Amino acid sequence: MTTTLSVPVEVPVMASGFLGFKTEAELTADLRVTLAVRLFEEGRVSSGRGAQMAGMGKWDFIEELGRRKVPVVNWDEDEIRRELEYAHEGVAVRR
């Protein structure tokens, strides 16, 4: 079941043009993507759910995350070290 929440936002027409949006639809679409990116960045939604919220495919959403400099994978030092060890072991096994 999907619930839709509408959030009224007042943006003066002049300000939306100043921000680079030609139409209300462009502004609305950008706000949807921005919200989805932010929620993903905070760890509150997955990339799949973020893509759905933004109204785009998962890979398009991942590319948008890259354009906005938001990491898709957010590992700490231990996780990175562990992954590198696994990768190194995998290379050693294949030799």
Q: Which helix (H) or strand (E) holds 43?
A: none
Q: What is the DSSP letter of 68?
A: T
Q: What is the pLDDT of residue 66?
A: 96
Mean pLDDT, 10 residues at a time, the chain of 95 residues: 75 71 85 95 94 96 96 86 84 54
Q: What is the pLDDT of residue 63?
A: 97
CB atoms within 10 A of CB 56: 18
Collect all residues with Cβ–Cβ distance below 8 Å to 55 and sequence separation of at least 6.
29, 32, 33
